[in-house]
Chains A and B, each alone.
Chain A
Amino acid sequence: ETGVTQTPRHLVMGMTNKKSLKCEQHLGHNAMYWYKQSAKKPLELMFVYNFKEQTENNSVPSRFSPECPNSSHLFLHLHTLQPEDSALYLCASSLEGLAEDNEQFFGPGTRLTVL
Chain B
Amino acid sequence: AQSVTQLGSHVSVSEGALVLLRCNYSSSVPPYLFWYVQYPNQGLQLLLKYTSAATLVKGINGFEAEFKKSETSFHLTKPSAHMSDAAEYFCAATPGTGTASKLTFGTGTRLQVTL
Contacts from A to B (Cβ < 8 Å)? 4, 6, 31, 33, 40-43, 45, 48, 50, 55-56, 90, 92, 94, 96-100, 102-109
Contact = CB atoms under 8 A, between A and B. Distances in A.
A106 B90 CA distance: 13
Most buried by B among A40, A41, A48, A108: A108
Given A90-B44, A97-B99, A102 B106 contact: no
A103 B46 contact: yes
B101 A103 contact: no
Interface in B17-64: 32, 34, 36, 41-46, 49, 51-52
A45 B103 CA distance: 8
Interface residues of B, number: 30
B44 A98 contact: no
A42 B108 contact: yes
19 contacts: A6-B43, A42-B107, A42-B108, A48-B102, A55-B101, A56-B102, A94-B101, A96-B99, A96-B101, A99-B32, A99-B94, A100-B32, A100-B51, A102-B99, A102-B100, A103-B34, A104-B103, A108-B42, A109-B43
Interface of B: 4, 9, 32, 34, 36, 41-46, 49, 51-52, 90, 94-108
Nearest to B6: A42
A105 B43 CA distance: 9
Contact of B97 (A41, A50, A99): A99
Contacts of A96: 99, 101
Given A33-B101, A102-B32, 17 more contacts: A40-B107, A42-B4, A42-B107, A43-B103, A43-B105, A50-B101, A56-B101, A92-B43, A98-B98, A99-B32, A99-B99, A103-B34, A105-B46, A107-B43, A108-B41, A108-B42, A109-B43
